């Protein structure tokens, strides 16, 4: 049954409660971006920024200095400085928590800013092509609080739609590549030659979305591991992280949200019972208390983090023993599933051999956290179709080695 509770605030909100989800407000029209800093929430919309200091219970407008047609699509902050990127209208900066915004875009070309970051004492803005002014996009840097901007030309080609920074490294990406700089933007190196839809960080690991997959690197992009077990998204548009919990979504495509509580090893859907999915949603964000989901219709929903961790925790029960199951189906054609479990962190190898003991393919060769895993083996390897017959699969984890037989029938 739908419950309704009246909350008195600067905006008078009626919070509707569905199982696990609460409708915070339905008055924030055209939400493009959620930015969360502790209990503070900024919602970027067309010509306005809505602000809440109490997890969304009450809201005020913070639009002084903004253009009424500006579409606010990204936020970054550092101490008392907040910078926002506006699609088609450049950059605005506030030094008083958003009470007054000042336009700072001298030197920006297309002004179609999609991403902004603060890195040490530098500001960076990523621009895409502007179809109105016909100006190309690029990466721009300011060393004087946005008074002037200079294009970064050093091996940074084309539009930049995603930026991320930690204390040392800057990552920049678009629909073709991911590059990084470890010297404040002077020199750049390509680290991922595929489209990147979103970037974030969990603990010491960089996490990116590439098309329908999540990839994680623990060495600043030198190597990557794909993590999509349990994911059923054809496109990932957003990643948000709180503590060691990762949320991903496909945004306006189908309105799906998945969560991982173990560094991306397993994913589970949490969008059940979330209403207003007709046109998908605009953005997700999280703090230690809530996961927030915004819709283009103006609705903002939230779900307590503890309802997510409590409902999902049983799915991550640590196995007591190491084991590998018989593949299913068996015999199989064209693919089969192999499940295995490990009780402690181990370097795991899962190898397929033919009947003569020759290695066919290594399915897994990486460090794995405790848990249960599922691997699919397909009988087509590249352009080669394996012949019918007996094959063996072998699990190696620490000193544990076990081999099982399977049959491919065509």
At residue 291, the pLDDT reads 94
The span from the CA of 228 to the CA of 237, in Å, is: 15
Query: Do 116 and 91 touch, CB atoms closer than 8 A?
Result: yes
The span from the CA of 53 to the CA of 9, in Å, is: 11
Phi, psi of 90, rounded to the nearest 5 degrees: 75, -135
The span from the CA of 291 to the CA of 20, in Å, is: 11
Rg (the chain; Cα; Å): 24
Q: How far is CA 20 from CA 118, 311, 359, in A?
A: 35, 11, 49
Q: List, by residue range, all CATH 2.60.40.2550 domains of the chain.
A: 323-408
At residue 329, the pLDDT reads 92
The span from the CA of 117 to the CA of 105, in Å, is: 15
Residue in 60, 74, 27 with CA at minimum distance from that of residue 285: 74
Residue in 175, 203, 173, 205 with CA at minimum distance from that of residue 191: 173
Residue by residue, pLDDT tens for the chain (410 residues) are 333 322 233 443 444 444 588 888 877 777 888 999 888 999 998 889 999 999 999 999 999 999 888 889 999 998 889 999 999 899 999 999 999 999 999 999 999 999 999 999 999 999 998 988 888 889 999 999 999 999 998 766 678 989 999 889 999 998 889 999 999 999 999 999 999 999 999 988 999 999 888 999 989 999 998 888 888 888 888 999 998 899 998 865 567 889 998 888 888 888 877 766 655 677 899 999 999 988 777 688 899 998 887 755 555 566 788 999 999 999 999 999 999 989 888 899 999 999 999 999 999 998 887 888 888 899 988 788 999 999 999 999 989 999 999 999 98
Given this structure, which CATH class describes domain 3-315?
A: mainly beta
Joined tokens for residue 198? 């979103």
Query: Do 221 and 205 touch, CB atoms closer than 8 A?
Result: no
Q: How far is CA 274 from CA 7, 16, 242, 246, 293, in A?
A: 21, 11, 20, 18, 9
At residue 270, the pLDDT reads 85
Q: Which residues, including other chains, have CB under 8 Å from residue 109's CB and lie 6 or more apart?
A: 127, 135, 136, 137, 138, 151
At residue 10, the pLDDT reads 42
At residue 13, the pLDDT reads 46
Give me the torsion for CA of 375, 381, 387, 391, rounded to 10°: -30
Joined tokens for residue 387? 């012949």
Residue in 349, 346, 337 with CA at minimum distance from that of residue 370: 346
Residue in 6, 10, 7 with CA at minimum distance from that of residue 28: 10
The span from the CA of 84 to the CA of 65, in Å, is: 12
Phi, psi of 291, rounded to the nearest 5 degrees: -100, 130
What CATH architecture is 323-408?
Answer: Sandwich (2.60)
SS3 string of the chain? Answer: CCEEEEECCCCCEEEEEECCEEEEECCCCCCCEEEEECCEEEEEEECEEEEECCCCCCCEECCCCCCCCCEEEEEEEECCEEEEEEECCEEEEECCCCCCCEECCCCCCCCCEEEEEEECCEEEEEECCECCCCECCEEEEECCCCCCCEECCCCCCCCCCEEEECCCCEEEECCCCEEEECCCCCCCEEEECCCCCEEEEECCEEEEEECCEEEEECCCCCCCEECCCCCCCCCCCEEEEECCEEEEECCCCCCCEEEECCCCCCCEECCCCCCCCCCCCCEEEECCCEEEEECCCCCEEEEEHHHHHHHHHHHHCCCCCCEECCCECCCECCEEEEEEEECCCEEEEEEEEECCCCEEEEEEEEEECCEEEEEEEECEECCEECCCEEEEEEEEECCEEEEEEEEECC
Q: List, by residue range, all CATH 2.130.10.10 domains of the chain.
A: 3-315
């Amino acid at each position: 049954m739908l419950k309704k509770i009246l909350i008195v605030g600067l905006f008078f909100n009626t919070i509707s409660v569905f199982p696990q989800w609460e409708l915070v407000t339905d008055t924030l029209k055209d939400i493009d971006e959620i930015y969360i800093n502790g209990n503070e929430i900024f919602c970027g919309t067309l010509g306005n920024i809505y602000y809440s200091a109490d997890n969304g219970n009450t809201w005020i407008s913070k639009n002084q200095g903004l253009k009424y047609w500006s579409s606010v699509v990204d936020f970054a902050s550092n101490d008392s400085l907040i910078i926002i990127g506006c699609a088609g209208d450049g950059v605005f900066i506030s030094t008083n928590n958003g009470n007054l915004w000042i336009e700072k875009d001298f030197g920006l070309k297309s002004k179609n800013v999609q991403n902004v970051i603060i890195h040490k004492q530098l500001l960076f803005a990523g621009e895409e092509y502007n179809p109105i002014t016909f100006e190309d996009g690029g990466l721009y840097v300011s060393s004087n609080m946005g008074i002037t901007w200079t294009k970064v030309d050093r091996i940074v080609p084309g539009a930049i739609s995603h930026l991320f920074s930690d204390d040392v490294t800057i990552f920049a990406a678009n629909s073709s590549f991911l590059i990084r700089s470890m010297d404040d933007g002077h020199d750049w190196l390509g680290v991922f030659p595929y489209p990147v839809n979103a970037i974030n960080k969990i603990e010491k690991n960089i996490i990116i979305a590439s098309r329908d997959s999540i990839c994680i690197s623990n060495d600043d992009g030198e190597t990557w591991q794909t993590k999509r077990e349990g994911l059923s998204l054809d496109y990932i548009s957003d990643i948000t992280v709180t503590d060691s919990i990762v949320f991903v979504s496909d945004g306006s495509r189908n309105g799906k949200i998945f969560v991982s509580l173990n560094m991306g090893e397993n994913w589970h859907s949490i969008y059940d019972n979330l209403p207003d999915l007709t046109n998908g949603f605009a953005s997700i964000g999280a703090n230690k208390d809530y996961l927030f989901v915004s819709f283009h219709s103006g609705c903002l929903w939230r779900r307590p983090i503890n309802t997510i961790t409590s409902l999902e925790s049983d799915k991550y029960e640590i196995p007591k023993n190491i084991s590998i199951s018989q593949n299913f189906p068996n015999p199989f054609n064209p693919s089969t599933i192999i499940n295995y479990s490990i009780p402690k962190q181990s370097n795991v190898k899962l190898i397929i051999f033919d009947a003569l003991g020759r290695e066919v393919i290594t399915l897994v060769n990486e460090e794995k956290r405790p848990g249960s895993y599922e691997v699919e083996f397909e009988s087509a390897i590249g352009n080669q179709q394996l012949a019918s017959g007996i094959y063996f699969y072998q699990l190696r984890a620490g000193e544990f080695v076990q081999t099982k037989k399977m049959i491919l029938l065509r």
